[in-house]
Amino acid sequence: MNLSLELQKRRDRFNDPRVHLPPPPLHALRECLVKNLRIAVEQRDNRLHFRTLDGDPCTLEYADAYRVRRTLHGVEGIGVQQWLRLNLSLCRHYMRIDCQGPTPVIDGLISEEPSQEQTLKNLAVFFNLSNAAKYTAH
C-alpha cells in the first residue's frame, strides 16, 4: 500500500470541490446588493460601505445579525429633543438614533432570515424608517 496515495485519497474526500459551502452572510448580502439592486458597495474591514440615494453614508456589518449604521447629512441643525421623540418610535423596530455627535446616526439591527429576500425586505424597512425619521425631523 502506498501511503502517499492513501493520504491523497483521504484529503480528496474531505476537500471535495463538488461540495459547495454557502458564502458568509455579509458576502452573500454584498453580492445581492451589487448584482440585483445595482448598489455600489465597497467591502473594508469586514464591513460593507455604501451610500443611500440622498448621499448618506452607510455601513453594514455582521455578527450573529446585521448591524446597519446610517449617518444623516443635512439635518445637523435639528434639536436633540426632536430626535429623542423620533427615537421612541424607532426602538420598536430595533433601531435607535445617536444624536450625541455633530451628525445624527441611525443604528439598526436586522436578524438574518432563512431567505435572502426576507433579509433584503428587512433592510428596506430600515431604510424606509430612517428616511421617514430624517424627513420628519425637518
Q: What's the pLDDT tens digit per position in 21-79? A: 556 888 888 988 888 788 899 998 889 999 998 899 999 999 888 999 999 999 988 88
**Sheet architecture: strand order including 42-44:** 42-44, 47-51, 57-62, 66-71, 105-110, 95-98
Residue 96 in this model has a pLDDT that exceeds 90: yes
- Measured CA to CA, the distance from residue 88 to residue 35 in angstroms comes to 35
Domains by residue range for the chain, with CATH: 25-137 (3.30.1460.10)
Residue 4 in this model has a pLDDT that exceeds 70: no
* Beta pairing partners, 107: 69, 96
Residue 84 in this model has a pLDDT that exceeds 70: yes
Question: HSE (CB half, 13 Å, CA atoms) of 136?
Answer: 14
Q: Report the pLDDT value the prediction gives residue 21, as an integer from 0 to 100.
A: 55
